[in-house]
Amino acid sequence: MYKRQPVYFALTCLRGILYYPDISKGWKPIGLEAGSELLQHEDIDAMISHSPPVTGHMIASELKDRYAIPWIADFPDLWSGNHCYSYGPLRKRIDRRLERKTLSKADALVTTSQPWAEKLKVLHSQKPVHVITHGFDPAEVNRPPAQLVAKFTITYTGIIYAGKQDPAKLFIALRDLISEGTMKQDQIEVRFYGSNLEWWDKDIKKYGLSNVVTQRERVPKEVALQRQRESQLLLLLDWDDPKEMGVYPSKIFEYLGARRPILATGGYSGNVVGELLNETKAGRHAPTIEDIRKTLKELYREYELGGQVAYEGDEAAIEKYSHREMAGKFAEILDRLAS
């Protein structure tokens, strides 16, 4: 394995050069041609580009040059300031230079959180930067409420980013509460849908939770939504990176549509996840093991007394995060630019 590392490194560098700035660069001529065709023959007042891939912004920049049409560059994930940026400092300097040049013609920038907006403002100080979060689909709201599973069920749906999201704090808290008799093992079920990781099975066994925690295969979205709606609690694994207080795991917005209490573990106090849960009253943020222990103890007590964990979300506050509301914010910016 050691002998292969230089070869792997060389291939990675070569791939980074050939496909710079991203693997979609070969799509650029096709995108330019299609964009030009539309702008020449359709009545279009403004355009939005979206990344990744950043090639989309580069196409929009050239179309802006050709047709002088108002342009919004949308960043659900940042470019050179990306929280999952995997390249070294030299590549990052090159990316920052290309980002500045590409977006110099944009009329407005959009991203999904205020901390990320501040990052964009530092790099693009002359540009207006707006915050428009992800949202939930109004058609997927849990209405009327689904019947709940009888057990104290905690459900997670979706992929997990190794090294960024970690369930160990939850496992430790559950182990401790079961060991001391606060929670009854046969009444608890923790379900992970979509990520079947071998190293997780080892952790589950290590913490003595083999009869409580299960990893299950990926399921269709309709099934995942149903599993959310029937659960006592929905688990969100917050981003464990002190440098990143602006990461909204997109799962949190889907959970808002499920209208079930959210337990967000990990992360750091004062980040955007905690602020959103406080604003919407849709759940609780428990960054530390002790926070998780305390929260689970309270919620399990509620379950024992009443047979379920009550949902106390603020409907008016939650509705602000529907796709309909997010589309309205984009429309306001487009209307201002087009006029």
Q: What is the DSSP string of 265-327?
A: ESS-TTSHHHHHHHHHTSEEEE-SHHHHHHHHHHHHHHHHHHSSPPP---HHHHHTTBHHHHH
CA–CA separation, 106 and 56 (whole Å): 13
Q: What is the pLDDT of residues 190-211, one digit of tens each?
A: 999 987 767 778 889 999 999 9
Residue 61 gets which letter from DSSP? H
Q: What is the pLDDT of residues 37-52, one digit of tens each?
A: 999 999 999 999 999 9
CA–CA separation, 302 and 296 (whole Å): 10
Of 271, 159, 165, whose CA–CA distance to 219 is shortest?
159
CA–CA separation, 296 and 233 (whole Å): 10
pTM of the shown model? 0.89
pLDDT value at residue 2: 38
Of 314, 252, 261, 315, whose CA–CA distance to 113 is shortest?
252
Query: Distances in Å between the alpha carbon of 15 and those of 20, 166, 199?
Result: 8, 30, 30
pLDDT value at residue 4: 47
